[in-house]
Amino acid sequence: MLIDELRLELPGDRLVEDPDVVEGFVHDEAEWAEHGVPLVVVRPRSAEEVQAVVAACVRHGVPVVPRGAGTGLSGGANAVDGCVLLSTERMTAIREIDPVERLAVVEPGVVNDDLRAACAELGLWYPPDPASAPWSTIGGNVATNAGGLCCVKYGVTGDYVLGLQVVTGTAELVRLGRRTAKGVAGYDLVSLLVGSEGTLGVITEITVRLRPRRPPERTVAGHFASVVDAGRAVALVGAAGVIPSALELVDHHCLSAVDAWKNMGLAVEADTVLLARCDSAGAEGDDEAATILSCFEQAGATWAARSTDQQEADALFAARRLAYPALERLGPVLTEDVCVPKAAVPEMLARIHRTAQVHDIRIANIAHAGDGNLHPLLITPPGDDAARARAQAAFHQIIADALDLGGTVTGEHGVGTLKRDGLSRELAPEALALHRSVKQALDPHGILNPGKVLPPLP
């Protein structure tokens, strides 16, 4: 029996079999994403222990579902029936920070903010900063190719991954990538693994590039009478050629929910707020802030200003990060993650507004607006099955509209189970066939996170 074999191969505290404890591991934060019942939860502490788990699962034909902190929003870490749920939460070592090469080597269970804090002590910066950065782990960020607030200027997680150590679907422990600033030897297998959501390998170590600490940011805020007006401001900023270090959209639903929860005094008389930051040094940063302020005013902002109160500015960005958990307190939240061209942001926001009206669903909006990555949050009353059905219909309509405008079904949360149908609409059959060929090559036994990302064959 597999569990008996794992007991022999691993120290006793690695296996979790208590059903009440196991229950806390079976799904991520994706509302309504399907999940099953695992055979056992395993919490390894080393790459070799991960390898031993995968090898045993290969021998017994048992699925392996990797899991980080469980903060995902697409069902990518959800258990399937009879699987071994492999949690990397105990693999938390920051093994190295090299200030000369500007890189760090970490285990997958390192929390994003913990790495950023450790780098800051050496005058360095790890840019990827998803809203879940205080809780999400680097391994999970790599598995979904997570983005964040500053990716409009600095890119997503994959832009910072230099190397990986992974256990493949044949239980081989391999190193991929490099430590050098440049390197083009062989296929870019690191990029292939980034964003693969545990379907091609189990990540056991990550080497990431770092940047020098950046200059202080300037904050510009604008209030708008509608999300569409705010969308026009986003398009104007893009047309002006300014690349802010953050450009975030938060509507009144989100701000009110955060204020009711945390009593932060954020109540504003606006339908939608845009928050921009610039981090270029000296006069260039001042010019960027002035240009963004002008774009806000041209788009019809009811109020816009450059903040002179750093505490107030930080509170607004903190509210942006707290929006999702604050809205969860109001009822089940189905989270979208579409991304459209920046020029299409006003039209996409208008379509989301129409979808809310047509389906009689409350939709709150937060967005990494600067790069077109929108997160409509569909909120339903607890236990209201009719509202749930309407929300799911609205969810699919938003995907259809994003694709119609030249966008993609997921900008940073991953496909998981929630977006498999959307992926089959976005990719041509030939492209899906290539995906399946890669999956077959790296996971010939089909045990790595089955049922995720790729839609079932017709």
H or E segment and range at residue 97: strand 94-98
Q: Given 3-state DSSP classes, what are the helix, strand and coil percentages for the chain, each rounded to the nearest 5?
A: 40, 20, 40
CA distance 286 to 277: 11
Side by side, the strands of the sheet bearing 64-67 are 15-16, 40-42, 84-87, 64-67
Choose among 281, 273, 108, 295: nearest CA to 202. 108
Distances from the Cα of 426 to the Cα of 191, 196, 403, 430, angstroms:
20, 17, 7, 12
pLDDT value of position 271: 87
- Phi, psi (deg, nearest 5) at residue 199: -90, -10
- Phi, psi (deg, nearest 5) at residue 163: -150, 160
Show the tokens assigned to 231. Answer: 């969308």
Exposure string of 339-361, with b = 16+ CB inside 10 Å and e = fewer, is: bbebebbbbbbebbbebbeebeb
pLDDT value of position 268: 66
Question: 3-state SS string over 361-392?
Answer: CEEEEEEEHHHCEEEEEEECCCCCHHHHHHHH
Angle at 209 between CA 206 and CA 211, to 5 degrees: 145
Domains of the chain: 2-87 (3.30.43.10), 94-212 (3.30.465.10), 218-404 (3.40.462.10)
Q: What is the pLDDT along the chain (458 residues), one digit of tens a residue?
A: 899 999 999 998 999 999 999 999 999 999 889 999 999 999 999 999 999 999 999 999 999 999 999 999 999 999 999 999 999 999 999 999 999 999 999 999 999 999 999 999 999 999 999 989 999 999 999 999 999 899 999 999 999 999 999 999 999 999 999 999 999 999 999 999 999 999 999 999 999 999 999 998 999 999 999 999 999 999 999 999 999 999 999 998 888 888 888 877 665 678 899 999 999 999 999 999 999 999 999 999 999 999 877 787 788 788 888 888 888 888 889 999 999 999 999 999 999 999 999 999 999 999 999 999 999 999 999 999 999 999 999 999 999 999 999 999 999 999 999 999 999 999 999 999 999 999 999 999 999 999 999 998 87
Q: Is 172 left (phi over 0), alpha (psi -120 to 50) or beta?
A: beta
279-330 per-position pLDDT tens digit: 999 999 999 999 999 999 999 999 999 987 778 778 878 888 888 888 888 8
pLDDT value of position 256: 86
CA distance 177 to 142: 14
How crowded is residue 185: how many other Cβ atoms within 10 Å of its Cβ?
A: 7
Specify which residues 206 forms β-bridges with: 106, 164
Show the tokens assigned to 16. Answer: 């979790």
pLDDT value of position 322: 87
What is the Cα 213 distance to its own chain's centre? Answer: 23
HSE-up of residue 173 (Cα within 13 Å, Cβ side): 12
Exposure string of 404-430, with b = 16+ CB inside 10 Å and e = fewer, is: ebebbbbbbbbbbbbbbebbbebbeee
Specify which residues 37 forms β-bridges with: none
Exposure string of 58-83, with b = 16+ CB inside 10 Å and e = fewer, is: beeebbbbbbbbbbbbbbbbbbbeeb
Choose among 87, 70, 67, 107: nearest CA to 16. 87
Show the tokens assigned to 9. Answer: 């191969």
Burial class (CB in 10 A: 0-12, 13-18, 19+), 186: exposed
H or E segment and range at residue 254: helix 252-262
pLDDT value of position 314: 83
Q: Which DSSP state fits 427?
A: S
Q: What would the DSSP string read from start to end of 183-251? A: ---S--HHHHHTTSTTSS-EEEEEEEE-EEPPPPPEEEEEEESSHHHHHHHHHHHHHTT---SEEEEEE
pLDDT value of position 267: 57
439-448 per-position pLDDT tens digit: 999 999 999 9
Torsion sign, CA atoms 108, 109, 112, 118: negative
Are 16 and 41 contacting, i.e. CB atoms less than 8 angstroms apart? yes
